[in-house]
Structure 1
Amino acid sequence: MSTLIHDGKCAEKNESIHVRRGRTECLLLALLLAGCGRPQVQRTAELEALAARSGEIERVQLKDQSRSEPVSIERATEELAARVVEPNAVPHGAVELTLEEARAAALTNNLDLKFHLVGPSIAEQSVDEERAKFEWTFFGSAGYSRSELGDEGNTVSMQSYDTGVAIPLQTGGSLQAGLPFSRADYDADDIGGVSSAAVSVSYIQSLLRGAGTRINTHSIRIAVYEKDIVDVRTKLLAIAILGNVDIVYWQLYAARRELDVRREQYKLAEDQLDHARRKVEAGSAPKIEIVRAEAGLAGRLEDVINAETSVRDRERELKRILNRDDLPLGVEIDILPTSEPEPIGLDLDAEAIVAAALDNRMETAELELRLAVDELNVELARNRTLPDVTFDYRYAATARSGSLGGALGDIGGDSLQDHAVGISAVIPLGNRAAQARLQRARLEKVRDQIDRDRLRQSIRQEVYNAVDELRQNWRRILAAEQGVVTAYRDYKVEQSQFQLGKRTSTDVLLSASRLADAQSRRIRAFAEYEIAQVRLARASGTLLGLGRLQIR
């Protein structure tokens, strides 16, 4: 009878084991199926619409985009001629702008400048990220297991825990202290529970490859230098952006003055047409003079149109740089530059400016930092050619007891002391990869040294060219002043000769064109002189103006 009972219990246990195994297999199968298959990407409604549009190319009829009824060439020509003579006021008025106001607005609002000013903050976070490599780490784990002992169906339940800290060292080693403890419980009547606890300390130190604080702080120093490189690049870009404010300002100044000249030429051509008509009516000139005057008037109209377009382009570029709320890109607002050029003759010492440029230019600072990075990379590559030799020491104090509290209490007294020390080495045969990396690091340093010399030569040439450009534009101003005086005198002579019947309308209009060209040359010479000063300052790594600018 007892044998039957025993066999029944064994059968029940085996059935229970099979049930548990079956459940476990089903769970594993479900997890496997969930992890397989094609992954699905769920888009938002906006992204789904964008994805749908990417496969089609839309077509447009520009006449459908017109806000008013399209007009004929004849009607549009009449309206344009009337507007050239008396320009309509723009819907949103005009804004007077000084050069200093433009600089201040760009420094405050320019989106390109704001974009680049984020770079140093990102680089600073990279430095903090590298410095965190030596932070202490707390670790902990807990586990549970249940195992069968033999064929009798007896089981043991094991609970294990571990906690401690890991400390990476700047010397190239690591220190770890832990407190592992566990509890084993048996379901057999003649075996009780057993608990164990220990204190463990391990120390690992590299002796050759990867040893030393300089090698192990290599990535931190690289990150610091890279941040410095970002800083100098940011300053370089800020100089370029802020210097571009001055350039576009003077380009707009020249475009507006050019428009004034072209409108004045149109009015002169109209006056010439009136003179021709009166002379024809008086019988002192043939009718062909009216045709000549009308042809000259038509030619002046295209010049005005081109000048107006140039003004709008320069205004829009300046609006983009300034990014002021009262100067939106899509709204037609006249920007009237009120600062006037102030050219003066200068006797510049080109060699002194070159010396200042070599000291101030951020490109040279960037290359010096890049050479410092190259030196660190050579140092690291040289260290990686060494054998990998590691020293290892481990200590553990272990105690066992019937209860977990007893085991923990016995660690300091009745415990087993374990000490282990060792040394290991890995020596590559040939070491070709490490030697190649070292040689590559050295060649990269040589290349950057050559690049530094190339840059210095380029800076010298740029400064010499900028000095010559400034001198050239000063002489252009002097020549343009004389050109305007003589061209105006020639126009007056031709006009008086026309009244006497000794010149035709064509001669007068050609003289007026020469006057306009002379005035345009003078305007461009004044504007180019101011722009040449900006370029010379930028070539020396500085900005025009008073005071220092903080870009951080």
Structure 2
Amino acid sequence: MLLAAAPTAIDSLQAQEFAPEPLTDLGLIEEVNNPAAEGGRTFGHSMLQGETLGEFRYGVTQQTNTGPRCVAEIPGPVSHGPQDCQLAPYRARAQSLDANPPVPFCGPLDRIDDDLDTAIPIDLAAWWETGVSAPLGFASATNSVDVAGLTQSALSMSPLVKGVLTEPKIRQNDLVIENAAFDSTAFVEGKFADTNEPVGSALTTGDNSERFRDETFSSAAGVRRSARSGGTFELAQRGGFQENNSTFLIPNPQGTTRLEINFTQPLMRNRGRAVNETRIVLAQIDLKLAEAEVRSELEDHLIDVTRAYWSLYQARTQWLQQDRLYENATKLLEVLKARNGVDSHTRQVLRAQAAVASRQSDLVRTETRIRNSQARLRLLTGDPSLTGNMGLGRSNHMELIPQDMPLAMPVTISPRDATITALDNRPDITDSIRKIQAVSARVGAAKNQVLPRLDLILHTHVAGLDAQRDTFGAFTNQFSEGRPSYAAGLLYEVPIGNRAAQARLARNRWEMVRAMHEFQQTTEEAFTEVELAVRETQTTYCEMVAKKQSIDAANREVDYLEQRWELLPDPNESAVLLIENLLDAQERLADEERSFVAAQVGYAMSWVQLRKTMGVLLRFDNPNLPPSSPEIWSSDSDVWSQSP
């Protein structure tokens, strides 16, 4: 259905005039105070309970204990200009999607106890949550960090962000350059010539002189300007004097002046503002494309910052889990050594020693992961306060302590609302529409270039003459003696065959077909990516619930084996095998805990990715700027509709 409608849309685009939107300065959402923000849960991994999609905070920053952060609701639709109608069938298709949030297929948030036939709520809290927000002793100084503060620091201090933000400024100057093509040009010129050459004709001097001697001074000053309608205007005041030995120059010497007005207006090719401002329109669209590209790059950077934060959180939780595992093995080894010669065997001690050494090496590797994550955060944010080095001296790296905890509740979102939001806000859809506008402008200009050249040429002047090289006297006489002279004419020109212009028009029309198909593909990708992102958030939550159930089961197994070993040893069971089973159960418990944290991080990042997929992770529109009126694209639209 969509492909069948494409040719009609393309045909209408070929004769359509595009009015560019008012340009706004590039700026982030203003800082506001939001005391109602959820404490610490920000940037894509949390939502206030009961919030609807319209209240869903996009989470670049939130209110924290350190002060106000940037907060914004889901931004309003991005204006797509005259091509917004191209999204109408897709919006209608999105409206037909299910408006109800999908029900998690992992079942209710409860479990059935093995002994009691009752539902027991699943507690997603973990024992390491307190320890992960406390110092671990890796540095003498500590610094508490959260996602909101890190993203704010990255946006304001990162050299990468600062470099990316220069691109729209560069494109803005390109727009100024194209507009400057219609600025007025002032000119002044002058020339003095002293001629002395033999006479080859009696008509040169009118007497028997053998040499022709002539002194001539000429000058001009005026203004030239190209009109946006295609015409060229010139106003020039010329003046000078001449003296020679010819009897034909009367008076001799003499001063001359001439005030000229010249105007040339195309009547067919290059006529109209729409044609002559095509380069301005393209520069304006390039600026919008640059802003969308910068937005996409900043979103990727903020996602990297968020991912680095959760990597730090994950590494610290793993260190706590590994440290607990190491302590359990150490305690077991101490008990075995104390009972050596009583009821413990040498092989049991050796097995426990091997477990202690292995777990200690894992602690070293995990500590390295923590330090690497901290270094990654320092690089991504560019914040000198994270190193404890506010000057140029040697830095003293701080221990970064995460404060944000993963969201431990299911948050659902309507696929219909998410898809509609994506259609209105995704930068790639905006880019596709902008490219259609750019190609359409080229098609209109190419249609005009197929026309023959027919120019109207107008000229008028007044002239003055005075004796004795009196140029100023001649200037006065040009307004007081005689009347203005004038001339009018037409210039017609057409290439035989006109193949080049026809080929350019055909090429631009094929570019329009390609742009339309690319737009359709981009929109289809948006539908699919939103569907996958919504499903992923539900899947990662269910995975997190399942991993917590696995932790509970592994805990019960460890408790059972510890009781078997400490309290009720079975004389028929191998003591070495019992120790082996206990150590293996502890390892399995640690593995399940690591998997649970990985699921928590995956759930947090799935919300960040969903917001990026919806196009609401970051916006550049400054709501404080008043809309400006378009400076181009007058009602002179007949140029587009002319046929070759």
Instruction: Give the TM-score, by structure 1 length.
Output: 0.78
- 8 Å contact 1:276–1:505 — kept in the other structure? no
Match of 1:397 in 2: 462
SS in 2 for 1:410: helix
Structure 1 residues 516 and 88: CA distance shift in structure 2, 3 A: closer
Alignment length (residue pairs): 464
Match of 1:263 in 2: 323
| Match among 371, 378, 397 for residue 319 of structure 1 | 378
1-structure distance, mates of 2:490, 2:145 = 76
Q: CA deviation at 1:256?
A: 1.0
Q: CA deviation at 1:212?
A: 1.1
- Determine if the alignment matches structure 1 residue 362 to structure 2 residue 427: yes
- 8 Å contact 2:551–2:593 — kept in the other structure? yes
Match of 1:214 in 2: 274
Match of 1:340 in 2: 405
Q: Which amino acid aligns with 2:177?
A: E
2-structure distance, mates of 1:98, 1:414 = 85
- Determine if the alignment matches structure 1 residue 541 to structure 2 residue 608: no
Q: Which moved more, 1:377-386 or 1:127-136?
A: 127-136
- Determine if the alignment matches structure 1 residue 135 to structure 2 residue 180: no
Q: CA deviation at 1:310?
A: 2.0
- Determine if the alignment matches structure 1 residue 524 to structure 2 residue 605: no
- Determine if the alignment matches structure 1 residue 498 to structure 2 residue 565: yes
SS in 2 for 1:340: coil
Match of 1:33 in 2: none
Q: Which amino acid aligns with 1:458?
A: E
Gaps of 5+ in 1: 1-86
- 8 Å contact 1:239–1:542 — kept in the other structure? no
Q: Which amino acid aligns with 1:182?
A: G
| Match among 247, 250, 254 for residue 314 of structure 2 | 254
Q: CA deviation at 1:416?
A: 7.3
2-structure distance, mates of 1:92, 1:424 = 84
Match of 1:196 in 2: 256
Match of 1:461 in 2: 528
Structure 1 residues 491 and 389: CA distance shift in structure 2, 3 A: same
The within-5 A match list for 1:339-488 is 339-402=404-467, 403-415=470-482, 417-488=484-555
Structure 1 residues 351 and 239: CA distance shift in structure 2, 3 A: same
SS in 2 for 1:282: coil
Q: CA deviation at 1:145?
A: 1.1
Q: Which amino acid aligns with 2:321?
A: V
1-structure distance, mates of 2:622, 2:471 = 68
Structure 1 residues 219 and 544: CA distance shift in structure 2, 3 A: closer
The within-5 A match list for 1:128-207 is 128-150=176-198, 152-153=210-211, 155-186=213-244, 192-207=252-267
- 8 Å contact 2:415–2:530 — kept in the other structure? yes
Match of 1:304 in 2: 363
Q: CA deviation at 1:190?
A: 12
- Deviation by residue 1:400-449 (Cα, 9 ceiling, x = unmatched): 22122332222123357543322222211122211111111111111111
Q: Which amino acid aligns with 1:439?
A: A
- Deviation by residue 1:155-184 (Cα, 9 ceiling, x = unmatched): 322211111111211221111111111212
| Match among 464, 488, 511 for residue 585 of structure 2 | 511
- Deviation by residue 1:281-309 (Cα, 9 ceiling, x = unmatched): 23423212222122222222332233222
- 8 Å contact 1:156–1:184 — kept in the other structure? yes
- 8 Å contact 1:358–1:459 — kept in the other structure? yes
The within-5 A match list for 1:3-18 is none
Q: What percent identity do the matched residue pairs reach? A: 21
CA-based RMSD: 2.8
Q: CA deviation at 1:228?
A: 2.0
Structure 1 residues 371 and 189: CA distance shift in structure 2, 3 A: closer
SS in 1 for 2:264: strand
2-structure distance, mates of 1:134, 1:294 = 84
Match of 1:30 in 2: none
SS in 1 for 2:526: helix
| Match among 126, 145, 150 for residue 174 of structure 2 | 126
Q: Which amino acid aligns with 1:113?
A: V
Structure 1 residues 551 and 91: CA distance shift in structure 2, 3 A: farther
- Deviation by residue 1:164-219 (Cα, 9 ceiling, x = unmatched): 11121122111111111121234799984222111111111111111111111111
- 8 Å contact 1:117–1:551 — kept in the other structure? no
1-structure distance, mates of 2:429, 2:621 = 21
SS in 1 for 2:386: coil
- 8 Å contact 1:196–1:404 — kept in the other structure? yes
2-structure distance, mates of 1:99, 1:215 = 49
- 8 Å contact 1:238–1:551 — kept in the other structure? no
Structure 1 residues 182 and 92: CA distance shift in structure 2, 3 A: farther
The within-5 A match list for 1:205-244 is 205-244=265-304
Match of 2:305 in 1: 245
Q: CA deviation at 1:255?
A: 1.5
1-structure distance, mates of 2:198, 2:324 = 112
SS in 2 for 1:326: helix
Structure with bigger gyration radius: 1
- 8 Å contact 2:213–2:245 — kept in the other structure? yes
2-structure distance, mates of 1:399, 1:409 = 7
- Determine if the alignment matches structure 1 residue 109 to structure 2 residue 154: no
2-structure distance, mates of 1:477, 1:221 = 51
- Deviation by residue 1:92-150 (Cα, 9 ceiling, x = unmatched): 52211123322332232233332222222222222222222221111110111111142
**Greater RCO structure (CA 8 Å; 6+ sep):** 2
Structure 1 residues 337 and 548: CA distance shift in structure 2, 3 A: farther
Gaps of 5+ in 2: 1-134, 200-209, 390-394, 626-644
Q: Which moved more, 1:186-195 or 1:173-182?
A: 186-195
Match of 1:95 in 2: 143
